[in-house]
């Protein structure tokens, strides 16, 4: 039995339309080509059929020529519009650039006029503090059990601060009101009797305290001179400040935490713990932009006479929200 495989495909060429002058007559020719390939038992047979249609149509040829002319005119108009848009864009870009340059020149020429008084809220300092005894961290022998951990925290919140302009906004006199917390973390299990005079404390090393500290809280009033090298752009300005900070004791407590999961215990006892009611501190700040460090030293003794070791408090840290 013969195996018959027939592959047939047709290529219909796009109708080719063209015109020619033939004895003063407009002629339109349409050509179609059909190719058919047949394969029988491995033998191929190819058949090519060509059809040509000749039409004499003056009106149709005129329409084609008119359409071609309209397309050329439309293309020319489009090119002209594109050129016009490009020219207008370049002119607009030049005008915008000139306006920007004029604004920049105006900003440079405009003198900086600082405010006579500037007000800022919620200025914060965060750092660490410790006790100094004769300019060392070593406490007198009788108070050695009260030695502090290195990471005892110091936090100051400036509730409100104002700066009075003294010279072109670069030099200001700054004052305000705030609240300062001094945390003193003990290394050992010290428990202080709050109101005892002279100081009384016990040490219990059988308890492993997770936290054992006394905390003082002072209402503060900073009084400083503040310098900024570039008050127009504070993020590109060197900043220096120095002055004093007055403090008044508003509270103190000892807080202890110990125990494991399920058996945690804590104790918080309020009292004055012998802290001085009034104190004076020296303050200095230095930085660039938003990065400002501070240092404080209190020449006023930390404790009242016979209420604790003869020590002074010193702290260092970052000004988180500088004035």
Domain boundaries, the chain: 4-56, 117-319
Q: Determine the pLDDT at residue 150.
A: 83
Mean pLDDT of 113-140: 89
Question: Rounded to two decimals, what is the model's pTM?
Answer: 0.65
Mean pLDDT of 106-114: 66
The values of phi and psi at residue 259, to 5°, are 100, 165
Give yes or no for a contact between 117 and 162, defined as CB atoms under 8 angstroms apart: yes
Per-residue three-class SS string for 140-158 = CHHHHHHCECCCCEEEEEE
CA distance 3 to 8: 16
CA distance 53 to 276: 118
Q: Determine the pLDDT at residue 280.
A: 97
CA distance 216 to 182: 5
Mean pLDDT of 163-179: 92
CA distance 213 to 252: 11
CA distance 138 to 130: 11
């Amino acid at each position: 039995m013969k195996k018959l495989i027939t592959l047939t495909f047709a290529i219909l060429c796009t109708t080719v339309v063209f015109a020619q002058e033939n004895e003063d007559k407009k002629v339109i020719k349409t050509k179609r080509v059909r190719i058919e390939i047949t394969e029988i038992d491995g033998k191929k047979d190819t058949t090519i059929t060509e059809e040509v249609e000749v039409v004499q149509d003056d009106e149709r040829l005129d329409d084609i020529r008119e359409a071609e002319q309209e397309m050329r005119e439309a293309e020319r108009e489009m090119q002209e519009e594109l050129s016009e848009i490009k020219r207008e864009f370049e002119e607009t870009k030049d005008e915008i650039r000139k306006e920007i340059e004029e604004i920049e020149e105006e900003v440079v020429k405009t003198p900086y006029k600082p405010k006579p008084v500037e007000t800022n809220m919620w200025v914060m300092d965060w750092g660490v503090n410790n006790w100094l005894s004769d300019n060392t961290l070593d406490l007198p022998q009788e108070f050695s059990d009260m030695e502090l951990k290195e990471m005892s925290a110091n936090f100051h919140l400036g509730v409100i601060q104002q700066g009075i302009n003294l010279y072109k906004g670069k030099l200001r006199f700054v004052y305000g009101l705030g609240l300062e917390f001094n945390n003193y973390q003990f290394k050992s299990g010290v428990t202080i009797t709050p109101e005892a005079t002279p100081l009384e404390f016990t040490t219990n090393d059988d308890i492993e305290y997770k936290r054992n500290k006394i905390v003082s809280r002072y209402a503060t009033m900073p009084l400083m001179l503040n310098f900024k090298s570039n008050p127009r752009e504070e993020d590109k300005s060197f900043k220096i400040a120095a002055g004093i900070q007055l403090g008044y004791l508003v509270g103190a407590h000892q807080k202890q935490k110990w125990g494991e999961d399920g058996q945690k215990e804590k104790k918080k006892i309020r009292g004055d713990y012998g802290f001085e009611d009034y104190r004076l501190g020296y303050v200095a700040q230095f930085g660039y932009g938003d990065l400002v460090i501070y240092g404080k030293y209190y020449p006023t003794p930390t404790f009242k006479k016979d209420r604790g070791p003869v020590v002074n408090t010193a702290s260092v840290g970052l000004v988180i929200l500088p004035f």
